[in-house]
Amino acid sequence: MVQRLMKIVTVVGARPQFIKAFPFSREVRKHPEVREVLVHTGQHYDYEMSKVFFEELDIPTPDHHLEVGSGPHGAQTGRMLERLEAVLSEERPDWTLIYGDTNSTLAGALAASKLHIPVVHVEAGLRSFNRRMPEEINRITADHLSSILFCPSRAAVENLRREGIGGDGGPPSGPRPRVYEVPDVMREAMTLSLPRAEDRTGLLRDLGVVPGAYFLATLHRAETTDDPARLRAALDLLARASGLFPVVFPVHPRTRELVEASAPPLPGSLRILQPVGYLQMLALERHARAILTDSGGVQKEAFWLGVPCLTLRRETEWVETVEAGMNHLVDLEAGRALDLLRSLPPPAPAAPFAPVGAARAMLDRMQE
């Protein structure tokens, strides 16, 4: 008997999603009975934020590139919806797979659910409990439209249960959503990539820094960058931190635009970089003395690498990292941040990582 082909449309659009898609796409290519159709919305579109990730991680060239580009949330999501609907109507997949909490995530969930195509959400159940964050709205909506929800932690499973998803929850009619706690696919991506990341440590030499004697900073979330006062406070915090150790700061293109529009120039004491590829970023993270960030993904990677992290937000969806004492929620309180940076011990060497099997677990559940 010939086994029926399963078709999965995977929707990605932003740099964290390219990383998360890498292990699953790699696993799918081992299974001739499964075909993945990769759709790139174009939310991140320049080389440093998009193409370099496909090259470094050997992700297949997207089957469809929607070329949506940047823009306000409503306009960007609307363009994605229109173009995704056409692709999904043409492909008619068994599943639409979405990752994380970006506008591409939201558009993928909406377009697929309106066409009655089941949705699989990876990184389901995460909550910051701050609905002023656009990412929180995106992840809540995606979760409530999904048929399979892959959660990276027990806390995420419990968040869904409280919202009536999983357990005895679900719609009054129709199939009940399936909720699974699975290994974190982003950790699998990191584990697979770390050996090659060590080949990128020449970047440290080029920057004039040495392992364990610099801070790494990233800023990109709207709650930080869209408020000129908060953006100035964040940049001032980084400038003051550079009085302790050099601060390496790869600047997100959107952050750079907002700085140029409404904030003082980037402090000259910072080691300013264009966005770097995934392997270079891992190398910078692994050898930093501490990391200052508003990124959810960077918080997780710091935790796994054993590098102390100061999160420049009031809350985080990755509560486990805070409970473990490796992540400190400092918001933009410069005095508290500097006190922590002065007192943090140097990071211990990270323990070796074993493959975590997230991609295989996800594919097995989808084939049940």
Positions marked active-site: 220
Identify the H or E element spanning 26.
helix 15-28
> Could you tell me the sign of the dihedral formed by the alpha carbons of 359, 114, 172, 132, in that order?
positive
Distance of CA 340 to the CA centre of its chain: 26
Q: What's the Cα-to-Cα distance from 75 to each of 10, 72, 79, 82, 154, rounded to whole Å? A: 22, 5, 6, 11, 35
β-partners of residue 35 are: 7
**For residues 204 and 124, what is the distance between their CA atoms, to the nearest angstrom?**
35
> What angle (nearest 5°) sits at the alpha carbon of residue 49, between those of residues 135 and 83?
65
170 phi-psi bin (left φ>0, alpha ψ -120 to 50, beta other): left
Q: Single out the residue of 331, 305, 299 nearest to residue 317, CA to CA.
A: 299
Identify the H or E element spanning 293.
strand 290-293
Question: Please, what's the b/e burial string for 78-93 (b: 16 or more CB within 10 A of its CB; e: otherwise)?
Answer: ebbbebbbebbeebeb
